[in-house]
Amino acid sequence: MKGSLWLIALFLVLSFAISSCASSTWPYQIRKL
């Protein structure tokens, strides 16, 4: 159980970091276009 919980927590953190990075980089990509 602990192993699966750690995997879920890690996945949530990674997804949150990716979403935050994408949202921060999107405006710059639009400005370049």
User: What percent of the chain has a predicted confidence (pLDDT) above 70?
Assistant: 85
The total number of structural domains in the chain stands at 1
Q: How confident is the model over 13-20, as a mean pLDDT?
A: 90
pLDDT at 11 over 90: yes
Q: How confident is the model over 2-25, as a mean pLDDT?
A: 88
Q: How far apart are CA 33 and CA 21, in angstroms?
A: 19
Q: How confident is the model at residue 20 (pLDDT cuts 50, 70, 90)?
A: confident
Task: Indicate the DSSP class of residue 10.
Answer: H
Task: Indicate the DSSP class of residue 3.
Answer: H
Average pLDDT, the chain: 83
Alpha-carbon dihedral of residues 7, 21, 19, 2, nearest 10 degrees? 10
Q: Closest by alpha carbon to 5, among 13, 21, 18? A: 13
Q: How far apart are CA 17 and CA 32, in angstroms?
A: 23
Q: How confident is the model over 18-23, as a mean pLDDT?
A: 82
Domain extent, residue 26, equals 1-33
